[in-house]
Amino acid sequence: MNVAPVTLALLAANLLVFLLQLAGGLPLVEWFALWPPSTSGPRSGPPFELWQLLTYSFLHGSALHLMFNLLGLYTFGRDVERLFGSVWFLQYYLVSVVVAALSHLVLTAWLGAPPYPTVGASGGIYGLLLAYGVYFPRRTLILLFPPIPLPARVFVVLFAALELYFGVTGTVSGVAHFAHLGGMLGGFLMIRLRRRRRGPY
């Protein structure tokens, strides 16, 4: 099956940036990861810059991290892009990425989490997951662990509930759960905007 052009470009960009990370020589995480804004008192890490609200989504912490995000982008991106059109799809994805970053910064600061760099395309992927569940609710998606088939709309609700639980309780550390929820929030806002312009679909 052919891949829609923006989805293909995003897949290629994420892979290329990860190869640059592996090559070393450039402080990509220091420049382009999402760092929390400085607060009073000392803190470790480079300063926050506005471009990090987008650039963090093209960096990844490991090959496994990259693989899961590329799989999600490929799985959901093709059909959502064909439905939305490439221009609106790109806008939708980038808004999901930015709202994910802002949600993560605000909620982790409110909870007093220590400063650390955030990387990964998951915020955008969760935005796409929401759109997939809204527009293709009866399609079957399969959980990886365990491999259970679920309708897309149930899959979305389950993942949102898990992310909220993990984010509030902190039971799964090292994952930006609030960024995932923020990506869904960004997607929800874009879907509302699209429906105001185009009608219910």
pTM: 0.90
Q: pLDDT tens for residues 136-192? A: 999 998 877 778 889 999 999 998 998 888 877 766 667 788 899 999 999 999 999
Closest C-alpha to 93, from 2, 14, 176: 14
Specify the CATH number for the domain of residue 140.
1.20.1540.10
- Number of domains within the chain: 1
Q: Nearest to residue 97, comparing CAs of 121, 74, 70?
A: 121
Is residue 181 classed as helix, strand or coil in its secondary structure?
helix
- Catalogue the E-assigned strands of 6-158: 140-142, 149-151
Q: Taking the CB of residue 85, how many other CB atoms lie within 10 A of it?
A: 13
CA distance 117 to 145: 27
Q: How far apart are CA 124 and CA 77, in angstroms?
A: 10
pLDDT band at 18 (very low <50, low <70, confident <90, very high): very high
Mind listing the pLDDT tens digit for each residue in 72-118?
Answer: 999 999 999 999 999 999 999 999 999 999 999 998 888 777 778 89
What per-residue confidence (pLDDT) applies to 45?
64
* Torsion angles phi and psi, residue 170, rounded to 5: 70, 25
**Is 39 within 8 Å of 122 (Cβ atoms)?**
no
